[in-house]
Structure 1
């Protein structure tokens, strides 16, 4: 399902208030890129790494740079991943994704452009970094192409600050309704894991020792009892030197502070812990003590890929059935031989 206009306003801000009862008055700004392809909404593919965890799950094709296919958008966007890692401005990812993977709003017939001010603050922050490596600010990002704040567009983050308590409360409520890209409900998640197991270079069966926020991302640290199922595109044997003990390795849920992860978030609630906590206490007493607060949240299955030196989650599902079913599911995953990536 596409993100609604109201949801988008609360999540990202829109510089121009408008009446959703009259969508015919709204429309995307023409940036000079033409295409004969009809504008449609598509799920953001896992291969479009630039926009993982951006806060919405569907994008418009053609995009604002004239790319007619998801493959073309993915290929062209990959060149901008290094700029994200340079942290030259807090809104770099927001700006780039508004062009490469513009949000799909069902009330509009096309994508929403970034505001000129958003382009300018990112340009001013990143041009010195790009220049140091011999790259100019490209003409396709010419800020004069984009609308001023009096028109419908995506503003810079600083323009959204100073919100009222009521606005913050609404954003928090909305945050709970936006599911992180890597997360899904348990039943759907098992299918996701099965279908994508061979397409991800890293896979794990794990318990969590800790979960913390680092910037806008969530850092997940597995316990030593966790098991590597797939490593660097091959079998677990490739993880020699890492071993089964993973307590000092971390996985990352990108932009995890802006979305909800059902299996992860539910494990924090008292409701969810009740019977499970009692069961886990008895088991851990037999096995030599607790592994930390988060170890009580059960088993997780996770798929990940390496990005900028970190293992970034592409799928995370909490196992809700018994250990016997989990062992059977893992045997099913490992039975076929995956082609090496």
Structure 2
């Protein structure tokens, strides 16, 4: 089996145990057009950046032409933007633009587990707007068990004990790229500010691991310094929470010293607050301030720089004023 095919299987999350199995049965759509591999059209926005460049036509929804597939797929862009599940785009593109591997005679279907994961995450969002889960996405139609199909993120073959130990050891030693500022933090943020479409002064409301990434939700006290090249006024005055969350790419498998220490402090704050409510002595720990730079990727704001501010409030205000006074050709200076 070619290295290209193996790399494609790895990209789609397919396990080695599945490689070599026959393609899944037909999903029930028939077409007189002969199956062919074609480049994904640049106009098919739904599947930009999906990780492969060629698709099978007809696709798994019975669309016989690239134009028809592109037109029908456009209706699902709003659902992807709702971020109801991390695999929404992966699932939809596996149907509208199924990956084309020369070694296989037909397209790969999504696994039933992938369909169910996206359905369970997105049905509440769709229902809120009056839309049901469509019959053409009926999860019972998709392969299960050992059949070759595209699984949900994380549904891979069981790792050996040695692989698990190796991964755990690496997890504690690799620093997330957005957090690797070290002693040059302020200089680094200053140098990258003009090149960053989004910038925030934020306090952390919550942090959680979603798949391989970390989701950071700012508090209402957070504010926008720059929004898509403009100042806070262009963002509508909603603060950093206007976008609801920032994402730390691969944050579930790397460390972010400033963020991790802030979370530890937050846990201590909760314990002290509980002790105070019980009549015991203790003072609350103030939440840490962060300066965050980000860029838009597939409907998310992904962090490119995250620096915890360890100096006083006056120094923070002074630093932000200096940032906003920088001469950036495309930046309209914001206010503090």
- Of the two, which has the highest radius of gyration? 2
Greater RCO (Cα-Cα under 8 Å, separation 6 or more)? 1
TM-score, with length taken from structure 1: 0.48
